[in-house]
Amino acid sequence: MPDQITYTEHAQDVLEKAHELISRGDHFALITSVDIKGGTARELGSLALVTALGDMFGYLSNGCIDQDIRLNALRCLAKKERKIVHYGEGSPFPDLTLPCGGKLKVLIDPEPDRQVLMSALDDLVARRPARLIFHTSQAAQTLEVEYRPKPKVTLAGRGAVFRATTKLAQLAGFDVSCISPDEDDATALKDACGLTVHPLLSPASAIHLSLDQWSAFLTLFHDHSWEPALLQRAVRTPCRFIGALGSQKTHEARKAVLLAMGCEPADVERIHGPVGLVPSLRSADLIAVAVTAELAAAFSRSQQVVTGQKGSTYQKPVFEPSTG
């Protein structure tokens, strides 16, 4: 079969596709990594789905065995059979190796509990962690996974660095929102990224910042008079990362202004400045890479966490597979 894999990363992306298919009444198989050992490309609990037409959304192995997983999912859909498939060390498929070593078990379910999946999506969209339970054997063994909301980045700025960082952050999989006083920037980002940029009418504009612990906030201005009111609001939120563009001298002046505005010293010290893993760059595209790399480091902790493996009663089980 031709390659029909869309490499979506986050559980929310897969669940949003599931919602689309459910709304149309289409059938699909949900695939979950339920056991990993050694080197693997994805985390335990990673999700993917395969439609009845053979389209796959999400991935479990970075390409080396995803085609075989897709074919197994199509067979499960045809037979309406739940199944666990084992790859790597000890697998019955010696010709399908995992180049990075280790082993992987995936659970394929052609009839997942749609209501439970949509409840999980509702949680993630509302920026709440979502938990799903997977039955991994007939011996009542379960895997309970907590999926965290998609990392969100709010960027406030104008000009070339602002545009380049917005585009790259979106390509890196962040949920991106933007604030800018520049209408040309707003038009360019709407055309390039499909983003609606919230207007910033003056440096003292009252802008509501919706920032939670899975969020980051960046100011990317060369005219730094736009920053103080925004940063004052940002440091009072629980967001994970706050960064600001500029030189070290600019950053010291920035901190002094915020302290004079009444910000707590500990809050001011939360601001990473100058933002970006590589200092003193002179290219907007390279600055965007350095800034996005620092964001990646801030969000490097797993986006899904195994919270239980036996006897959990959190909610109705999503799967009760045969051993296959």
pLDDT per position as a tens digit, 175-207:
999 999 999 999 999 999 999 999 999 998 878
The contacts found for 146-149 with CB under 8 angstroms, 24 or more apart, are 146/304, 146/305, 146/306, 146/307, 147/11, 147/12, 147/45, 147/120, 147/303, 147/304, 148/214, 148/303, 148/304, 148/305, 149/12, 149/124, 149/212, 149/214
Q: Are residues 130 and 209 in the same domain?
A: no
On the question of pLDDT at 3 being above 70, the answer is: no
Q: Is residue 319 domain-resident? A: no
Q: Are residues 191 and 71 in the same domain?
A: no
On the question of pLDDT at 41 being above 90, the answer is: no
Q: CATH no. for residue 248?
A: 3.40.50.720
On the question of pLDDT at 319 being above 50, the answer is: no
pLDDT of 314 reads 32
DSSP bridge partners of 175: 152
Please count the structural domains in the chain. Answer: 2
Q: Is residue 305 domain-resident? A: no
Selection from 316, 312, 311, 302 nearest residue 33 by Cα: 302
Q: Are residues 107 and 162 in the same domain?
A: no
Q: Are residues 92 and 23 in the same domain?
A: yes
Q: How far apart are CA 214 and CA 153, in angstroms?
A: 9
> Which of 98, 127, 148 is where one domain is finished?
148
Q: Are residues 143 and 196 in the same domain?
A: no
Q: Is residue 283 domain-resident? A: yes
Q: Are residues 135 and 97 in the same domain?
A: yes
Q: Is residue 316 domain-resident? A: no
Scan for tokens 């697998």, then name that residue: 91
pLDDT of 92 reads 61
Selection from 320, 254, 228, 306 nearest residue 46 by Cα: 306
Q: Are residues 211 and 118 in the same domain?
A: no
Least confident of 32-41, 68-77, 307-316: 307-316
Q: Are residues 97 and 9 in the same domain?
A: yes
Instruction: For residues 221-234, give the mean pLDDT.
Output: 95
Least confident of 58-62, 152-156, 172-176, 319-323: 319-323
Q: Is residue 309 domain-resident? A: no
Taking the alpha carbons of 108, 7, 14, 53 in that order, is the dihedral positive or negative? negative
Range of the structural domain that residue 61 is part of: 5-148
Q: Is residue 315 domain-resident? A: no
pLDDT over 90, % of the chain = 73
Q: Is residue 307 domain-resident? A: no
On the question of pLDDT at 220 being above 90, the answer is: yes
Q: Are residues 117 and 172 in the same domain?
A: no
Q: Are residues 57 and 123 in the same domain?
A: yes
> Which of 113, 148, 183 is where one domain is finished?
148
Q: Are residues 70 and 162 in the same domain?
A: no
pLDDT of 207 reads 85
Q: Cα angle vertex 296, ends 292, 300, to 5°?
A: 175
On the question of pLDDT at 251 being above 90, the answer is: yes
Strands (E), 205-252: 215-220, 241-244
Q: Are residues 177 and 202 in the same domain?
A: yes
pLDDT of 175 reads 94
> Which of 122, 148, 174 is where one domain is finished?
148
In one-letter notation, the amino acid at residue 142 is T
Q: Is residue 83 domain-resident? A: yes
On the question of pLDDT at 100 being above 50, the answer is: yes
